[in-house]
Amino acid sequence: GGISNGEDIYFNLAFKPIASISREQESVNLQGENCQLLIKGRHDACVLPRVLPVVEAMTAITLLDAYLLSKTSHL
Cα 34 → chain centroid: 28
**Cα(64)–Cα(3) distance, rounded to whole angstroms?**
11
pLDDT value of position 48: 81
CB 44, CB 17: distance < 8 Å: yes
In a domain? residue 39: yes
At residue 46, what is the residue type?
A: C
The tally of domains found in the chain comes to 1
Q: What is the mean pLDDT of the chain?
A: 84
Full residue range of the structural domain in which residue 37 is found: 25-72
pLDDT value of position 54: 92
In a domain? residue 13: no
In a domain? residue 3: no
In a domain? residue 63: yes
pLDDT value of position 11: 84
CA-wise closest residue to 48 among 13, 8, 10, 23: 13
In a domain? residue 57: yes
In a domain? residue 43: yes
CB 25, CB 38: distance < 8 Å: yes
* Rounded average pLDDT over 16-23: 80
